Structure 1
Amino acid sequence: MGSSDAELEYLSGFGNEHSSEAVPGALPVGRNSPQRAPLGLYAEQLSGTAFTEPRAHNRRSWLYRIRPSAAHPKFTRLAGTRAHPTLHTAPFTEVPDPNRLRWNPPPMPVAGTDFVDGLWTVGGNGDVTQRAGMAIHLYAATASMTDRVFSDADGELLIVPESGALLLHTEFGRLHAAPGHVALVPRGVRFRVELVDGSARGYVCENYGQPFLLPELGPVGANGLANARDFLAPTAAYEDADRPVEVVNKFCGALWAAEYGHSPLDVVAWHGNLVPYVYDLRRFNVLGSISYDHPDPSLFTVLTSPSDTPGLAGVDFVVFAPRWLVGEDTFRPPYFHRNVMSEYMGLIEGAYDAKAEGFTPGGGSLHNMMSAHGPDRDTFEAASAAQLRPQKIDDGLAFMFETRWPVTATAQALGAGHRQQDYDDVWQGLQRHFRD
């Protein structure tokens, strides 16, 4: 192992050019691919976008590594008992369900289940071979990945821990992601997951489309929402290990594996703007109304994956962070709503202000396009009669994956034992109050 003494150090800034070296002099000066890279390393470019995409959207990094990625044996598709029965990808063959769906937290798996084996697909949309759409997964793990490395050629992975901290060992270095953080691993970047607390559970958004970026601020101006300086990239840390390591690659929905004779996490130095990162959701600068009503939930967007239609996201990542509510003569919880977008919500901690009960950390709900949803009966009655004074919501941290297309739930999600079959009942007590 070669790295700095500190377990985790960071470079800050989102989407900017960064550089890091674990050994002084490992980064070449003035040239990306010199005739001989420093220290006997190999120069290699990792491209996350097409070469000819506009400069503002182009993502790439140069890696200076002990062995080139090209030096690997043949990959073999995992099949039989080694196939992954709970991990699915788009296109999904089930018929989309217009009903409102909600799940309790999933049960923890048996001992020895690592991050990859513990992935469980809720649903998704699009077509992975066309690099369009997204998938929603849960993860639950009871063991660290040991001598095993994973990469996803199908999309970037936005990891949202709910229980248990993760230490992500990536080609670029290490990232620590605890509940309340999100971590992003770009498409194709290899990594393994170490469990800090012995077990872990959370959510994953697999984004097949354009890479996540910060939303435009428009009339908001230069400040607010997620600040670029709070996105933290790792410092270089490499593994110089000659031992068998299984490298698992997700490609067009299937898992393929090869046994390397060394660790592929052997990047000694790197520079570029295609990097993994971690973000503390509590640093989100929440904006809202200071008069009446409240803005659409799009104002809580942390990251967005643009589509070919301006303003229409392939997927948005939205956080409902601690905030003040001060609107006068205003129904303050989220309003009753139907949306052309489809919404999957999860809860990291505490409670969500639109639900009195039934929505717990580790659980989730899916409201597909145009399915009516909003506060349940108890929340509506309490909020309608509340005395309106400044109110601080600081006892919960919820998030949403919002996507342009319907989310097709998998058969395992529809038939899961932790699915709440009586979810519709939370709205049944809403009474008629109209008087002519």
Structure 2
Amino acid sequence: MALSYLSGFGNEFQTEALPGALPVGQNSPQRCPYGLYAEQLSGTAFTAPRADNARSWLYRIRPSVKHQGRFSRIDLPLWRSAPTPMVEGLALGPLRWGPPPMPSEALTFVTGMRTITTAGDARVQSGMAAHLYFVTQSMAQDYFYNADGELLVVPQQGSLRFATELGVLEVAPGDICVLPRGMKFRVELIDKSARGYVCENYGAAFNLPDLGPIGANGLANARDFQTPAAAFEDRAEEARLTVKWGGAFHACDIGQSPLDVVAWHGNYAPYKYDLKRFSPVNAVLFDHPDPSIFTVLTAPSDTPGTANVDFAIFPERWMVAEGTFRPPWYHMNVMSEFMGLIYGIYDAKPDGFQPGGMSLHNAMLPHGPDQAAFDQASREALQPMKQSGTLAFMFETRFPQQVTDFAAKLETLDKDYVDCWSGLEKLFDGTP
């Protein structure tokens, strides 16, 4: 599988599967090489500022208008879009789920999507949804694209192959991949089954956060993000295309694979990233810094400094701060936090938070370390130590997250989660 590296978000790059397939110096010549069709896929308005403009030119065997038929509505009731009303009878407060079991029925990446929370409104391109995916069957002559938002895929168990219009990406636990809005793709199993998390971002596309006083280096580096090399399918066969549009699903029969792009250039493309390449920044003397230093990708909102969605990770790292409570402190803030654990132990919840599980701490609701984490962190000798064998992540959004019926009825919902703080006793004794 050929991959090319981004030289930085927003920069132009190009690839061709056949020599000379990519026109030189002209995007839409009168006649394209090899009898291909020129087509532009735009992720932003045509008149967006140059620094923000996202588009790619595709040179394909058939134009996309040939990859659609007469659509019919189909029902995928467990994949929901915002706005979703709050579940009646579900008490307000912190929520935690253990890892749901892998279903036994045949499920593809699309039919196995299960929405846990939604936030904002997909119809006005604002907010997000947090999903789990379960895959027990590859998509064969079955293709999909999402017109509502881009998909950030976080594998937790099992590897997947994403065959997209612009090439192939393979991802495993510890990787992420992002599939842009409007990009057609098919998902195949590499292992027997797979599960993981998805952030469906309705708003502005994910990008690298500004580094500010950190300087030029650190966190996620643009050079480590990979895009696929061009790879095309010239297959005339009965197939089906499913589209998510306006929160609803539509399907049509087509007569060929839509993954027929022979060459492309631009800056609107799927990409993958190995989270082990993230370069953490941390305190080297005292105090616990804000968790924003662990941001991998951010999708901005119209409020400067307040994201539509942030994607942050809590990876292996050295902790050396002196005289400091090292786990996340107790807090409540304007952002709502959906958290998952890919592997290992999360230091603020060493017992109840399991790989494949998740938690939700909504906007302006307090949360923090459980009693065991507080007791240990308050008393342990503060020698330099490495937080090893762990990888947790967070989808954080400015919008309150509404829990779906599916999530509220999951058998792995921890109905006693709030009790993890019940043993925190008054320690105040009036002396310094």
TM range (shorter): over 0.9
3-state secondary structure, aligned to 1:244: strand
Corresponding position: 1:113 with 2:86: no
Deviation at 1:97, TM superposition (A): 6.1
For residue 236 of structure 2, give the secondary structure of its aligned residue in structure 1: coil
Distance 2:91 2:240 in 1: 38
Which whole-Å deviations, capped at 9, do the CAs of 1:205-261 have from their partners, x for residues lacking one? Answer: 000000000001111111111000000000001111000111110001111011110
CA offset at residue 91 of structure 1? 1.4
Return the match for 1:420 from 405, 414, 417.
414
Which amino acid in structure 1 is aligned with residue 297 of structure 2?
L
* TM-score (norm: length of structure 2): 0.97
What is the match of residue 366 of structure 1? 360
Deviation at 1:74, TM superposition (A): 3.2
Does 2:81 align with 1:89?
Answer: yes
Would you say how many aligned residue pairs link Structure 1 and Structure 2?
427
| Aligned 8 A contact 2:67 2:258 in 1 | no
Quick one: distance in 1 between partners of 2:265 and 2:396?
Answer: 32
**Residue number among 20, 27, 35 corresponding to 2:22 in the alignment:** 27
User: 1:410, 1:12 → 2: CA distance?
Assistant: 37
Alignment partner of 1:202 out of 196, 201, 205: 196
Aligned counterpart for 1:257 among listed residues 240, 251, 256: 251
* CA–CA separation in structure 1 for the residues paired with 2:398 and 2:3: 36
Equivalent positions of 1:324-339 (< 5 A) are 324-339=318-333
Shift of 1:76: 2.6
Once the 2 structures are TM-superposed, how far is the Cα of residue 18 of structure 1 from its aligned partner? Answer: 1.0
Structure 1 match to 2:137: 143
Q: Which of 174, 187, 193 in structure 1 is aligned with 2:187?
A: 193
Corresponding residue for residue 4 of structure 1 = none
| Cα distance in 2 between the residues matched to 1:423 and 1:246 | 43
Q: Which residue of 2 aligns with 1:59?
A: 54
**How far is 1:126 from its partner?**
1.2
Q: Do 1:17 and 1:271's aligned partners in 2 also have CA atoms closer than 8 Å?
A: yes
- Per-residue deviation at 1:109? 1.7
Counterpart-to-counterpart distance in 1, 2:353 and 2:93:
17
How well do the aligned residues superpose, as a CA RMSD in angstroms?
A: 1.1
Shift >6 Å, 4+ stretches: none
Question: What corresponds to 2:72 in structure 1?
Answer: 77
1:191-340 alignment to 2 at 5 Å? 191-340=185-334
TM-score (normalizing by structure 1)? 0.96
2 CA distance for matches of 1:401 and 1:277? 18
The CA distance in 1 between the partners of 2:381 and 2:175, in whole Å, is 34
The one of 99, 103, 123 aligned to 1:129: 123
- State the partner residue of 2:31: 36
**Contact map agreement 2:69 2:254 (CA 8 A) in 1:** no
Q: Secondary structure at the match of 1:140?
A: strand
Q: SS at 1:109's partner residue?
A: coil
- Local SS of the residue matching 1:384: helix
What letter matches 1:40 in structure 2?
Answer: G
Q: Once structures 1 and 2 are overlaid, which stretch shifts more, 70-79 or 155-164? A: 70-79
AA at the equivalent of 2:131: H
AA partner of residue 293 (structure 1): D
Paired residue for 1:3? Answer: none
Structure 2: gaps (5+ residues) = none
Decide whether the 8 Å contact of 1:14 with 1:232 is kept in 2: no
Kindly indicate whether residue 193 of structure 2 is the aligned counterpart of residue 177 of structure 1: no
CA distance in 2, matches of 1:277, 1:250: 21
Q: Tell me the alpha carbon deviations over residues 161-193 of structure 1, each in whole angstroms, 9 at most, x when there is no partner.
A: 000011110001000110000000000101111
Deviation (angstroms), 1:73: 4.2
Provide structure 1 residue ranges, at least 5 long, that are not aligned to the other structure: 1-6
State the percentage of identical aligned residues: 56
